Structure 1
Amino acid sequence: MPPSTGSSTQRAPSKPARILAHKHVIPEPGARKLRELSADDVDQWLARKAG
């Protein structure tokens, strides 16, 4: 059988991964699209998370 292509082979994130994303990742950029984030934005966010 040939290898499958497309998104049907991707699994949905697990419940713990979704919880972590909604608690720690998604609130920071809010409604901003990922393509709008710069490397500096991510660096600043990581620095704040590191304490």
Structure 2
Amino acid sequence: MDQQSDVNTNDMSSEGPQHQEPMLTMAETQDVRARKKYSSGDNSGAAHNLFLL
């Protein structure tokens, strides 16, 4: 039982932090990240960018 949950956890972590927002596809996440970079003067944008990284 423990081993199976460990495998599930490893699968999740191997996906990487990009998948912390499951509603977004990979391309959408990168698009959002790029847009946040351009508007990095905005405090909330910068904070969200750090969270994605």
Shorter-normalised TM-score: what interval? 0.3 to 0.5
Q: Calculate the TM-score normalised by the size of structure 2.
A: 0.31
Larger radius of gyration: 1
Ranked by relative contact order (alpha carbons within 8 Å, sequence separation 6 or more), the top structure is 2
